[in-house]
Chains A and B, each alone.
Chain A
Amino acid sequence: MAGVWVFAEAKDGKFRRVILEMLGEARKFADHLGEELWAVLVGSNVAELSSLLGEHGADKVLVMDNPNLAAYTTDVYAGVTLGLINTYQPTAVLFANSNMGRDLAPILAQKLDTGLITDLTGITYGPEILFKRPIYAGKALVELSFAANARPMLLTIRPKVFTPAEPQTGRQAEVITASADLNALTLRQVIKDVIRKASTRVDLTEADIVISGGRGMKNPENFKILEEVADILGAAVGASRAAVDEGWREPQYQVGQTGKVVSPQLYIAVGISGAIQHLAGMNSSKCIVAINKDPEAEIFKVADYGIVGDLFQVIPILKQELQQALASA
């Protein structure tokens, strides 16, 4: 048996967009190999999502639906997924480069004694398939291939890089229902509590628009004006290392070589000088806007549009202009 698998991580009955992006690319991958595209659904109350996966290109959907799979823990998910891989012998398995994928894929790679390429950003299909990923947070790129004996090929896929699959209404996948004896698994990780972010703001790495503040923000309270702009745009709010080091923002919002790498459609850098380590984290954004009072700031060298001026003057006007522009759109 064979096939290219997409591990279709679902949360609250929904897929993040990266899953559809994975299906889009995995379809090409499977067609290149002349193999089927399978989606793997592991979780609780996930079976009903099968039809969506069929519509987005999956030939088969392998469903493992069990109330005890509601929350991700390494040992349970790795045990269950290993069982599925051993039974059906896929050629490749794609995971999202999410916190789940980042945890699950390396463990499976080691259990299967195979290779893993993480944070994938490109595939070149030829006699030998080449996989591209950033290194040094995107300051350089490396092309890799799997050794002949490294099967299945395991990959984690960076969000917002690949084109999502277009839905084909009425297209159906064959559904295979699998089950596992979870009692046979050793569970070493026990979840004591889960604290969800109160904010409904879009995730930094999945956002189409990111607005980030740096040292020029001067204090944590001033980030409120960026949040107001973000609310209008449906954007995520990031920060430079300088702002995080000052304690103005939580480390999880740091954009840079340490921190998150983002590639939104629009990145607005506010009061950020443009240190190399910050640029590495946002350089692949489609459009970059810089607002900084220092005309010599490095950030202007990578920005598509720049305004040299006091951010505390610019941002309130920007907010108004955006409100008007989006209201008339």
Chain B
Amino acid sequence: MRIVVCMKQTFDTEAKIALTADGLIDSTGVTLVVDPYSEFAVEKGIQFKEKFGGEVVIVCIGDTQAETAIRQCMAMGADRAVIVTDPAMDGSDQSATARVLAKAVISQEPDIILGGFKSVDSGSAQVMLRLAEILNLPHVNVVTNIEIGEGKAIATRELDDGVELVEVSLPAIFTAQQGLAEPRYPSVKGIMQAKKKELKRLTLADLDIDPTSVGPANAKVKIHGLTLPAPRKGGRIIGGEIPEATADLVKALRDEAKVI
């Protein structure tokens, strides 16, 4: 079984976000990690490989820094990786990203394709589904479990008020929600082996994609500017003994904040 996992590198969720003088996201000093939702998918992929045999291939669009995240996935147990690095990709929207990803993914002839249902940075939650549509493959979105059967799989999809079990035939795409799999910590042996695993570097030209068909000029959605939300001011600590303080709190919520 060949499992392809689409992986994105993002900021650590403990990172504070600041803007540069040009109004862009400032990445100075920020720790870059495997996106948590990608990581659930990577872990699930490795579990499938351990159970059914085969290999886990990481597919990533990113710059050379993203190779650190790829090695992390390899240290967890992924077998090899394909990274698409091309300056033309800077400022591409989800539509272009999905189109490039599609070419890279399908070249691996996957049985199962996994990825995060969203990322913790842009969080637009649409690339994996656009990918499914481009590849004309069935998908199940926002899943917390996948059971593999003969040529098909049943995935547990999150609903607003519960879950449903959805069956699709393979190959298919599944997008990971938190709870799908608990990512393992790489072993020392895993980290050592990761350094020697195959990492294939591709450009858009290698995928037969015209670099002028991606990027900001072709984006269907244009970025106008970034802002930071107004910082919250700390309020007041209600002092005194616990019973009095708690009573004061309830009064304040009712009479001052008017939220109960």
Cβ contacts under 8 Å, B148 to chain A: none
Q: Is the CB of B126 within 8 A of A106?
A: yes
Task: Encode contact with A along B203-237: 1 for CB under 8 Å, 0 otherwise.
Answer: 00000000000000001111111111100101111
Whose C-beta in chain A lies nearest to the C-beta of B120?
A: A257
Q: How far is the CA of A122 from the CA of B124 in the complex (A)?
A: 15
Size bracket of the B interface: 35 or more
Q: Is the CB of A322 within 8 A of B14?
A: no
Within 8 Å by CB of A116, from B165, B166, B178, B221, lies: B221
* Number of residue pairs A-B, CB distance < 8 angstroms: 264
Q: How far is the CA of A194 from the CA of B178 in the complex (A)?
A: 19
Q: How far is the CA of A137 from the CA of B168 in the complex (A)?
A: 31
Q: Is the CB of A284 within 8 A of B225?
A: no
Q: Is the CB of A110 within 8 A of B98?
A: yes
Within 8 Å by CB of B246, from A98, A134, A307, lies: A307
Q: Is the CB of B162 within 8 A of A266?
A: no
Within 8 Å by CB of B17, from A136, A303, A305, lies: A136
Size bracket of the A interface: 35 or more
For the complex, is A240 an interface residue (Cβ under 8 Å from B)?
no
Q: Which of A262-298 contact B (CB under 8 A)?
A: 265-266, 275-277, 280, 283-284, 286-289, 295
Take A110-B95, A190-B167, A306-B235 as given contacts and tell me if A325 and B222 are in contact as well, using a CB distance cutoff of 8 Å: no
Whose C-beta in chain B lies nearest to the C-beta of A186?
A: B138
Q: Is the CB of B124 within 8 A of A103?
A: no
For the complex, is A33 an interface residue (Cβ under 8 Å from B)?
no
Q: How far is the CA of A114 from the CA of B238 in the complex (A)?
A: 52
Take A147-B219, A306-B238 as given contacts and tell me if A194 and B247 are in contact as well, using a CB distance cutoff of 8 Å: no
Distance in angstroms from A176 CB to nearest chain B CB is 27
For the complex, is A259 an interface residue (Cβ under 8 Å from B)?
yes
Q: How far is the CA of A73 from the CA of B222 in the complex (A)?
A: 31
For the complex, is B107 an interface residue (Cβ under 8 Å from A)?
no
Q: Is the CB of B257 within 8 A of A287?
A: yes
Q: Is the CB of B124 within 8 A of A118?
A: yes
Q: Which of B75-117 contact A (CB under 8 A)?
A: 93-95, 98, 117
For the complex, is B158 an interface residue (Cβ under 8 Å from A)?
yes
Q: List 26 A-B contacts (CB under 8 A).
A: A75-B138, A106-B130, A109-B95, A110-B98, A110-B129, A110-B133, A115-B221, A118-B126, A119-B124, A135-B123, A139-B16, A141-B226, A188-B168, A190-B166, A191-B166, A194-B163, A194-B165, A209-B260, A266-B259, A277-B14, A288-B232, A300-B237, A309-B245, A310-B242, A314-B245, A318-B250
Sample of 6 further A-B pairs with CB below 8 A, known A144-B222, A251-B178, A302-B234 = A116-B126, A142-B223, A142-B225, A196-B161, A295-B237, A307-B238
